[in-house]
Structure 1
Amino acid sequence: MRIIGGKLRGLRLNTPKNLPVRPTTDLAKEALFNILNNQIEFEGLNVLDLFSGTGNISLEFASRGARQVVAVDRSVHCINYVKDTARQHKVEDIVTYKADVFKYLEMETEQYDLIFADPPYDLNRIPEIPKIIFEKGLLSADGLLIVEHQSMQNLSQHPAFVEQRKYGHSSFSFFKNLVS
Structure 2
Amino acid sequence: MRIVGGRFRGRALKTPSSLATRPTTDRLREALFNVLAHAYGDPADGAQVLDLFAGTGALGLEAMSRGAAFAIFVEEAAEPRGLIRANVETLGLGGVTRIFQRDATKLGDAMAGDAFDLVFCDPPYGKGLAEQALAGALKGRWLAPGALIVVEEAIEPGFVAPVGFTELERRLYDTTELIFLRVPE
TM-score > 0.5, shorter chain as reference:
yes
Q: Residues 65-84 of structure 1: matches in 2 within 5 Å?
A: 65-84=67-86
Deviation for aligned residue 1:175: 1.0
CA deviation digits over 1:114-147, x for unaligned, max 9? 1111000142333223333333443212211111
Q: Is the 8 A contact 1:115 1:146 kept in 2?
A: yes
- The aligned residue for residue 178 of structure 2 is 172
Deviation for aligned residue 1:30: 1.0
1:51 and 2:53 matched? yes
AA matched with 2:105: F
Residues 16 and 134 of structure 1: is their aligned pair in 2 closer, same or farther, counting only changes over 3 Å? closer
Q: Distance in 1 between matches of 2:169 and 2:16?
A: 34
CA deviation digits over 1:21-78, x for unaligned, max 9? 1111222111110011121342321000000001111210111121111001011121
The number of aligned residues is: 178
- The aligned residue for residue 11 of structure 1 is 11
- The aligned residue for residue 118 of structure 1 is 122
Structure 1 counterpart of 2:90, from 88, 97, 101? 88
| Structure 2 spans left out of the alignment, 5+ residues | none
Q: Distance in 2 between matches of 1:150 and 1:19?
A: 17
- The aligned residue for residue 127 of structure 1 is 131
Q: Supply the RMSD in Å over aligned alpha carbons.
A: 1.9
Q: Is the 8 A contact 1:164 1:174 kept in 2?
A: yes
Q: Is the 8 A contact 2:60 2:73 kept in 1?
A: yes
Tell me the SS of whatever aligns to 1:6: coil
**TM-score, with length taken from structure 2:** 0.86
Q: Is the 8 A contact 1:2 1:13 kept in 2?
A: yes
Structure 2 counterpart of 1:154, from 141, 155, 159? 159
Range that drifts further, 145-154 or 131-140: 131-140
Deviation for aligned residue 1:19: 6.4
Residues 174 and 41 of structure 1: is their aligned pair in 2 closer, same or farther, counting only changes over 3 Å? closer
**TM-score, with length taken from structure 1:** 0.89
AA matched with 1:129: A
AA matched with 2:181: F
Deviation for aligned residue 1:98: 1.3
| Structure 1 spans left out of the alignment, 5+ residues | none
Q: Distance in 2 between matches of 1:100 and 1:139?
A: 17
1:98 and 2:98 matched? no
Tell me the SS of whatever aligns to 1:102: coil
Range that drifts further, 25-34 or 151-160: 151-160
Q: Is the 8 A contact 1:139 1:177 kept in 2?
A: yes
- The aligned residue for residue 107 of structure 1 is 109
Q: Percent same amino acid at aligned positions?
A: 31
Range that drifts further, 12-21 or 50-59: 12-21
AA matched with 1:73: E
